[in-house]
Amino acid sequence: MSAALTLVQITDCHLQNNPRHLYRNYDVESALSRLLTDILSSITDLDALLWTGDLVHHGGSDGYRRLQQRIAQLALPSYWIPGNHDDAELMQQIGGSLNQRSFCSDYWVVILLDSSAMPDGKGSGSLAESELRFLRQELEQYPDKHCLVVLHHNPLPVNSRWQDRIMLANALPFWDVVTSYPQVKAVLCGHVHQEWGLEHQGVQVLTTPASSVQFKKCSDDMLLEDKPELQGPAYRVLQLHPNGSITTSVKRIAVDGCND
């Protein structure tokens, strides 16, 4: 890996078990294909792909196998974690090396967490006690590396009443661990289908729009994004630098001639 670790986050694909089925009247298979084409054609020296949950809507085995085969064809290190719409057990059974929970470069460790425990049936999820122990153990193991923590559910509110009700349910215990280790520089998540750059006690919190449909920001109820320039599939590029700084941007794929 190069001195700067270059990662791409893909999140909230909501693939259907049957690839011909739509999600909210949107062709998510085609959207993901366009997104991957853009990534491969525009980013050089890519070190890894992070697939951060809600990958297969209501998690079906055919959808995971199809996604696993697609990822294998990319010939890039890739890692996936479940979201509230996923079947975490199926992902473990099918994913193989995709289930790896952490990886290192010379200067960074990336830790991936499963926040799908204790679902409330509405979209929220939690980190099981075993996940919090794992996080602490990894941070203890790598005190001299900068750290990026990755999970599906956002651990901070996003000023949207319906979404703030389904954020990470046990955010306080999560932050108790994270803020005890100064090497944690950022937390990366999906779930909200929106771009946010937040901060909590010196730790960046980055959320990323979906590869599928986007939700309108700061809404009391669920609304799909109505601005054409914000509707297309999107991904996040991160460069993790040796000094602990992060350069990041969100790339949106054009829809009807519009882009960012």
CA distances in angstroms from 200 to 88, 163, 165, 247, listed in the order given: 28, 18, 19, 18
Domain count, the chain: 1
**119 in a domain, yes or no?**
yes
**259 in a domain, yes or no?**
no
- 151, two tokens: 């999970």
With contact defined as beta carbons under 8 Å apart, do 184 and 135 qualify?
Answer: no
List all residues 6 or more positions away from 229 whose beta carbon is below 8 Å from its beta carbon. 252, 258, 259, 260
pTM: 0.95
pLDDT digits (tens, 9 = 90+) for 162-172: 999 999 999 99
Question: CA 51 to CA 95: how far, in whole Å?
Answer: 12
What domain range includes position 81? Answer: 5-252
**135 in a domain, yes or no?**
yes
Give the pLDDT score at 1: 47
pLDDT digits (tens, 9 = 90+) for 39-91: 999 998 999 999 999 999 988 999 999 999 999 999 899 999 999 999 999 99
Looking up residue 72, the CATH number of its domain turns out to be 3.60.21.10
pLDDT digits (tens, 9 = 90+) for 98-155: 999 999 999 999 999 999 999 999 999 999 999 999 999 999 999 999 999 999 999 9
pLDDT confidence band for 3 (50 / 70 / 90): confident
**258 in a domain, yes or no?**
no
**257 in a domain, yes or no?**
no
**137 in a domain, yes or no?**
yes
